[in-house]
C-alpha cells in the first residue's frame, strides 16, 4: 500500500549533485591508501554506495577513491557532516531504483569529503542533518514503498536530484523516530531497518496496511 496524506518537506532536506567529474579533476585524485587526513579526503563513487551501507575504501584498483584537500580543490569538496547518499543510476539487475546509504560525520576522520557526480547527496537546507535524520531517511528511501513509488513516476534507471525533491516524505519527526530506533539496534540488517520504517509509518497513521513485499 502507498503512503497517504503525506506533506512534502522540502525544507527538511535538500538533494544535490556535485560537480566533481573525475576526468576534469584528474590532477587532484589520489589512491586511498596511507592518506593524510589534513591534506586529503575520501572520494565516494557509485560503487561505494550499497543499500544502507557505505564501503570505503572498496579495494577497487580501477578507481581512485581519494582527493587532495587544498585551496585549489576546495570547490570540489563538501564539509564533514551527515548526509544521505543516493546513486544517480541503477541497473535492472539491482532490483531497486533507489540505492541509498547514510554517511555520518562521526565515521569520518577527515575534515571534508567528495562525491563523484554520479551520486546525489542529501543534506539539510537550513540546519544540520542529525544522525537519526540521516539514518531514518536512508532507510525510508530504501523501503519497497518509495521504490515502488519511484518506479511508477519514473520510467528510467536514472535518479536525479529534482526527482528526489518530488518524493513524498512523512514529517521529520517520523523519519527521526525511525532513525533513532535503528541506531539503538546492533548491526541491524537491511530488512530489519526497513521493518522499523514501516512500523513507524503505521504508528503515525501514514500506512493503511503493511501488505508490502519486504524482499525488494
Q: Is 207 helix (H, G, I), strand (E, B) or coil?
A: strand
* pLDDT score at 9: 47
**Nearest residue to 48 (alpha-carbon basis) of 100, 94, 13:** 100
* pLDDT score at 28: 96
- Which pLDDT tens digits describe the chain residue by residue (216 residues)? 344 434 334 445 667 766 689 999 999 999 998 899 999 999 999 999 999 999 999 988 889 999 999 999 999 999 999 999 999 987 766 678 899 999 999 999 999 999 999 999 988 766 678 999 999 999 999 999 888 888 887 667 788 887 888 888 888 899 999 999 999 998 899 999 999 999 999 998 887 655 445 444
* pLDDT score at 155: 64
Residue 5 has phi, psi (to 5 degrees) of 50, 50
Asked whether residue 214 is domain-assigned, the answer is no
* pLDDT score at 209: 54
Asked whether residue 167 is domain-assigned, the answer is yes
Asked whether residue 87 is domain-assigned, the answer is yes
Asked whether residue 209 is domain-assigned, the answer is no
Asked whether residue 65 is domain-assigned, the answer is yes
The tally of domains found in the chain comes to: 1
Asked whether residue 88 is domain-assigned, the answer is yes
Instruction: Tell me what the pLDDT averaged over the chain comes to.
Output: 85
Q: Specify the CATH number for the domain of residue 129.
A: 3.90.220.10
> What residue numbers bound the domain in which 52 lies?
14-203
Contact 64, 30 (CB under 8 A): yes
* pLDDT score at 6: 42
154 Cβ contact partners less than 8 Å away, ≥ 6 residues apart: 97, 163
Asked whether residue 212 is domain-assigned, the answer is no
What is this structure's pTM?
A: 0.89
Asked whether residue 7 is domain-assigned, the answer is no
Strand order across the beta sheet in which 112-115 lies = 29-30, 66-68, 40-44, 112-115, 78-79
* pLDDT score at 208: 65
* pLDDT score at 160: 84
* pLDDT score at 82: 95
* pLDDT score at 18: 63
Amino acid at each position: 500500500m502507498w503512503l497517504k496524506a503525506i506533506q512534502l518537506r522540502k525544507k527538511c532536506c535538500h538533494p544535490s549533485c556535485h560537480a566533481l567529474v573525475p576526468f576534469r579533476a584528474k590532477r587532484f585524485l589520489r589512491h586511498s591508501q596511507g592518506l593524510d587526513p589534513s591534506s586529503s579526503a575520501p572520494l565516494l563513487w557509485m560503487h561505494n554506495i550499497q543499500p544502507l551501507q557505505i564501503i570505503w575504501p572498496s579495494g577497487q584498483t580501477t578507481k581512485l577513491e581519494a582527493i587532495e584537500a587544498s585551496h585549489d580543490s576546495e570547490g570540489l569538496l563538501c564539509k564533514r557532516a551527515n548526509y544521505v547518499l543516493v546513486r544517480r543510476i541503477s541497473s535492472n539487475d539491482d532490483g531497486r531504483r533507489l540505492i541509498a546509504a547514510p554517511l555520518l560525520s562521526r565515521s569520518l576522520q577527515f575534515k571534508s569529503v567528495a562525491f563523484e557526480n554520479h551520486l546525489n547527496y542529501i543534506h539539510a537546507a537550513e540546519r544540520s542533518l542529525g544522525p537519526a535524520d540521516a539514518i531514518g531517511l536512508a532507510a525510508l528511501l530504501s523501503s519497497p514503498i518509495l521504490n515502488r513509488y519511484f518506479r511508477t513516476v519514473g520510467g528510467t534507471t536514472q535518479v536525479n536530484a529534482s526527482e528526489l525533491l518530488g518524493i513524498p516524505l512523512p514529517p521529520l519527526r517520523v523519519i527521526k523516530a525511525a532513525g533513532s530506533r535503528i541506531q539503538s539496534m546492533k548491526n541491524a540488517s537491511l530488512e530489519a531497518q526497513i521493518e522499523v520504517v514501516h512500523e513507524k509509518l503505521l504508528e503515525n497513521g501514514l500506512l493503511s496496511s503493511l501488505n508490502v513485499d519486504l524482499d525488494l
